[in-house]
Amino acid sequence: MLRIVLNRSMSAAILIVIASIFSFMLIAAFPGNVAALIAELRGGFVSQKVVDQVAKEYHLDRPLIFRYGYWLSDVVQGDLGKSLRTGEEVSAALAKRLEPTAVLIAGGGCVTLIVALVLGFAGALWPGGLVDRFIRGVAIVNISIPKFFLAAMLIYAFGVVMNVLPTFGFRGPLSWILPSIAIGVVPGALLSRVARVSLEEVMSRPFITTAMSKGFARRRILFRDALPNIVPVVLTAFGMDLAFMAQSALIIEPIFSWQGLGAYFVEAARFRDLPVLQSCLLIFSILFIIVNLIVDLLVMIIDPLQRRAARG
């Protein structure tokens, strides 16, 4: 098992290095004279001498491979540079903005699991009937709703019409509810279909037929016999949803005025703050890789078939 963990961790480390290359290259390929752009953002008179000084300061006068080496060396030491717009250390700004994004992803993950399991098990409990068809329709409608539209409807319904929940700012547990629903309902609807199809496949297996022949209730069979068999599939899909929520934060955080990583990235893109853009891209990539690594290891711990396949 230790060898498997080490191999998967090594693969994740290689992916992180590749992600760092892409994060660097995307910003390095920014159109125009980057040194002149940085000099303009600093303000004051921009002469060729100032541009040359900026190019030397940011190693823009060196070949691309050396520039990547300088940047990666700084990143490994925790130095992500300074914001061109505010002059603030990017690592300090990211640390301050990490909590809202972490709360958003955690809350969205809880909503996703609740929606998926409730809809999936309700459909499996009454298969083919009115309830199953209704739940399927609800899931399809939820999958089709854009997140920004759902967020706007939640704000209007619970903040304007009923005025029961806060819709502005990161101000305690009550303010977490609507953003978590907005980011978690759509993945939950999609995951409910994965759970429903997986349950249907498990319920057709011989050991389930044997359990039914013994007179056990369908509800008991679903929870005791079918559920453990779908956990690896659902957990894998849930891990992907959780990783993609970091990207959805780009949409949800500005709508609810949360000052998280997503809102920070949007602000940086608006003002062409290249060090912040580069750092956010790298952070999002690392989050995606680490979440999938954790899920992969959990699935192997739970499912002996996965462990045998990994050893093979």
Provide the domain limits for residue 214: 94-271
> In the Cβ-directed half-sphere of 196, how many Cα atoms lie within 13 Å?
25
Rg (CA), the chain: 24
DSSP-assigned beta bridge partners for residue 89: 82
* Beta carbons of 230 and 199 less than 8 angstroms apart: yes
Q: Is residue 197 part of a domain?
A: yes
Q: Is residue 276 part of a domain?
A: no
Same domain, 133 and 248: yes
Residue type, 246: A
Same domain, 170 and 133: yes
Rounded CA-CA distance 243/241 in Å is 5
Rounded CA-CA distance 258/225 in Å is 42
> Tell me, what's the pLDDT at 169?
86
Same domain, 111 and 239: yes
Same domain, 148 and 196: yes
Q: Tens digits of per-residue pLDDT, 84-106?
A: 878 888 999 999 899 999 999 99
Residue found by looking up tokens 């297996």 in the block: 205
* Beta carbons of 273 and 37 less than 8 angstroms apart: no
The string of DSSP letters for the chain reads -HHHHHHHHHHHHHHHHHHHHHHHHHHHT-SS-HHHHHHHHH-S---HHHHHHHHHHTTTTS-HHHHHHHHHHHHHTT---B-TTT--BHHHHHHHHHHHHHHHHHHHHHHHHHHHHHHHHHHHHSTTSHHHHHHHHHHHHHHHS-HHHHHHHHIIIIIIIS--S--SS--SHHHHHHHHHHHHHHHHHHHHHHHHHHHHHHTTSHHHHHHHHTT--HHHHIIIIIHHHHHHHHHHHHHHHHHHHHHHHHHHHHHTT--SHHHHHHHHHHHT-HHHHHHHHHHHHHHHHHHHHHHHHHHHHH-HHHHHHHH-
**Nearest alpha-carbon partner for 30 in 2, 69, 60:** 60
> Tell me, what's the pLDDT at 255?
92
> Tell me, what's the pLDDT at 32?
66
* Cβ-Cβ contacts under 8 Å for 209 (sequence gap 6 or more): none
Q: Tens digits of per-residue pLDDT, 244-276?
A: 888 888 889 999 989 899 889 988 888 888 888
Which of 44, 76, 108 is the last residue before a domain boundary? 76
Give the residue ranges of the chain where pLDDT is below 70. Answer: 1, 30-32, 41-45, 304-312
Same domain, 146 and 41: no
Same domain, 220 and 134: yes
Residue type, 81: G
Q: Is residue 305 part of a domain?
A: no
Same domain, 62 and 112: no
Q: Is residue 296 part of a domain?
A: no
Rounded CA-CA distance 47/34 in Å is 14
Same domain, 127 and 175: yes
Please give the structure tokens belonging to residue 209. Answer: 């037929």
> Tell me, what's the pLDDT at 156?
92
> Tell me, what's the pLDDT at 178?
93
Please count the other Cβ atoms lying within 10 Å of the Cβ belonging to residue 112.
26
Which of 49, 76, 103 is the last residue before a domain boundary? 76
Same domain, 43 and 135: no
Same domain, 12 and 47: yes
Q: Is residue 37 part of a domain?
A: yes
Q: Is residue 121 part of a domain?
A: yes
Q: Is residue 304 part of a domain?
A: no
Same domain, 49 and 146: no
Same domain, 148 and 31: no
> Tell me, what's the pLDDT at 43?
66
Q: Is residue 45 part of a domain?
A: yes
Specify the CATH number for the domain of residue 111.
1.10.3720.10
Domain count within the chain: 2
Rounded CA-CA distance 298/139 in Å is 27
